[in-house]
Structure 1
Amino acid sequence: MEIFTKKQPLKVTLSKLKAQNKTIGFVPTMGALHKGHLSLIKKASQKNDIVVTSIFVNPTQFDKKEDLINYPKTLENDINLLKNINCDILFNPTVDEIYTDAIISEKFDFDGLEHQMEGKFREGHFNGVGTIVKMLFKIIEPDKAYFGEKDFQQLQIIKKLVKKQHLNVKIKGRPIFREDDGLAMSSRNVRLTSEHREASPFIYKTLKKAQKKFRKENASNVIKWVENQFKKQTLLELEYFTIADEKTLKAIENKESSKKYRAFIAVFAGKIRLIDNISLKIS
């Protein structure tokens, strides 16, 4: 595996590979890699000639400085994991290499997707996401890029970014990778206390029950039921639970058979914020 910390040498290498008609699959990450990340890289490897993974903790997408400072950093272990699954190229730039001038976000219009759910609770977050993803796409120029559905809102926003910015890359979403007890894999999980880690599978269990209830009940009843379940769970604090249209991400009022729906949740386990989602069917 080749490791690059500078944009220009990476671009030269990738240009040579593209001249040989090699296809490039790209998996952007912030490091602290887990099996969910590795599943994306494996899929990229199956569908492309060359796999590029980036590790970059992007400062402009953190709304809280404390969260940025405490984000887990395990570069040595990450490199070993990438070598073991035959990742071809790692791009691990510094903040100065990416943000050559001021560390600020570009402003984006994602047709309202950015104002739903996470956008309501994390000011400027999706401008930061859009900024770094656009930068990385322009550096790497991949044929395909792979993202997990745990961050489903982010996935939809990146698809919108590609469309509106006319970027020549296909976005591939992949299913959520879970622990054996159902907890969605996240780099933040390592920061959970043992007590909160033991309690956190309750999130997915509740989502699964909500999924069943949605087949027979309206969205409002399901939302109230979930909120009541979390009032009984003293170790977990519900920030939001929303049932939304997958395409617009807007909260629904009435179910329509022609649309796809998804339930979204954000929960605090102590100081650690966990998100998850699940697809819903009317019948």
Structure 2
Amino acid sequence: MNPNFKGVYAVAVTPFKEDGSFDFEAAKKHLDWLIENGVHGICVLGATGEYQSVTNEEHKAYVKEIVPYICDRVSVIVGASRERPEEVVELVENIKVCGGHAAMVLPPFYCHPSQDEVVAHYKYIMDHVDFPVVAYNNPGSAGIEIEQDTFKELFKLSNTAIVKESSGSMQKLTEVLIDAPESVSVFCGCDNLAFESFADGAVGWISMLANVAPRDCVDLFESVYDRKDLTHGFEVYKKILPALNVLESFPKPVQALKYALKSKDLGGGYVRRPRLELSEDEKAFVDAQMHLESLK
């Protein structure tokens, strides 16, 4: 385990105003609440943060405003995925200057890179900026899985600090845990495999649900990973599993989280196009399936 990276990181939503501009006041209110409720870290501009829908200049502006606001209180990971590694380097340099602690990077998406191209992508980034990197395995989003031998090559790169494993396969998570050196932390990236991941040895969680249930998520992690209290941990897991399942299966998880935050008066804000706000029927589904009133 990398001692700098452990625990529950809420992959925070990015609140927008109705006109599509950043709502910094709402973002800060939400981040303050997350920190007050015990999260170990924050992940800014991940997929839940709609990174795909902001330009490079907007990305840098948001990081300049938000990262210095929280980086002295919690560990901060910032999403920096782009197809071109030159653009990733540009974003990571800004994250570094602003006080972030790591950059989360997917393999190049849509172009279906070969495994040697995946290694070359990460190597180019690390050769051009000296900063901790989260190697993010999410074949559903990137269209490419980081294979076992590829991970072994990434583990040889000095700035590979974390793996976020989001394939949905416990076999894959176990494989990564076995191969990872002591300098690398392996995180759960699949919300409805959290209990199993911590029991297997994952030392952290980049969590969607933590946006609206930070105390429950921290309780689950600390019970299972830190205290080895599987009985209590499983009780927490059973309570929040319906919400975790919604976030991993409902086609509009960002909207669901922002709706939940608004219902708790925590400033979720609007989504940015091409996303649309939830319909009344979708809101009713979220209310019924996520049991928002029971989350804490």
Q: TM-score, normalised by structure 2?
A: 0.27
| Higher share of residues assigned strand | 1
| Higher share of residues assigned helix | 2
Q: Which has the larger radius of gyration?
A: 1
Which fold has the larger relative contact order, with Cα–Cα distance below 8 Å and residues 6 or more apart in sequence?
Answer: 2
Q: TM-score, normalised by structure 1?
A: 0.28
